[in-house]
Chains A and B, each alone.
Chain A
Amino acid sequence: MREQLLALLDEIRPDVEFEKETKLIDDGILDSFDIISIVQEMNDTFGVRIKANELQPDNFNTVDAMIELIEKLKRRA
């Protein structure tokens, strides 16, 4: 899952070193368009449905947080 996620993130923002960043949202590295693109890709790739209320900084600040969100949604599905 991690490789898949990193690949899709890299496709959207090749200029960001996602593994190193810990405050992708808090530091304004990702803007709202990036987030929408990332969510669309995550939905399609992992078969989940991320809703607007899940777009919290805590869920998108790091790659680990994104993986945790996907796993949580997969468990729920």
Chain B
Amino acid sequence: MNARAWSPPARSSVTLLRPSSLLGALVVILLLLSAVSLSVGRAPLDVGAAIAQWLRGESTLATLVLIELRVPRTVLGVLVGASLGLAGAALQGLLRNPLAEPGIIGVSSCAAFGAVVAFYSGFSLTAPLALPLAGIAGALIAVLLLYALAGREASTLTLILAGVAINGFAGAATALALNLAPNPFAVTEIVFWMMGSLADRSISHLQLAAPLMIVGWVLLLNSGRALDALTLGEDTAASLGVRLGRLRLMLVLGTALAVGSGVAVTGAVGFVGLVAPHLLRPLVGHQPSRLLVASALAGAVLVLAADIAIRSITVGPELKLGVVTALIGAPFFLLLVMRLRRAVI
């Protein structure tokens, strides 16, 4: 019997939807939010007219704002949200820990540190690809470190403590790197790297991050069946034909690629990878393989909705994306902690 042929018994759940209808609903919401995202902004842009002009091949101010500003922002929001949702679901499956999330366990902040070093040293000016690659390297170190500290059968507490330490160290290293950067603006930009933002990102940022991100997605999405088997424990999964070493490698690399390349162009956006899988888990019958795609879609919906909210507030300078996701995600995190406590008692 191999992992592909194996399928766990569906848990009884009153809220269980047919897979296609759940994914269909998420895709419809995502498309609607994308349309809203294209039409929200400071300038009074007639999106319909702009699209018509663009289709006719005209180059006007409206098409410029649409294609160079709003499309990259929307697409990048979708990609980064999907990466975080997907990575959150995959990490929770790999570590069999409900609180695993790229932000909480320090993967995002290590990726930010890598990107900061590549960016402020001027290295990414000469070799643009160095920016996402450095982000990926930072994320990779964090995931490996975490796996070494809290990988096998570790308690939730161990994972969170390891995350606190990694987050603290990466944050301090980022602050140090920004202090040493020659540019006086660098120090104030820690807010961008810690909180994340999609403001004024361009097509070039999208081109840098998207290919590596999608490679990460492929690795993560292909691990679904093995993650299902892993819910029964490592030994059982191994006896079912799951090659654990290969699975870990795929998930570690996939997370690093998806999260690292995203953080390198938008900064670290927290809590998306926590909220998205938890909201969707009951709806997919607690089955990791089905959770992956659903969580990716939900992550994209969350980030897009948060970014639309930010752009709808027209007073003062723009909020950082992580401010909104943390305002929603942190209470959610507390709720989860309380529920876990109750379960333990």
Query: Are chains A and B native binding partners rather than an unrelated pairing?
Result: no
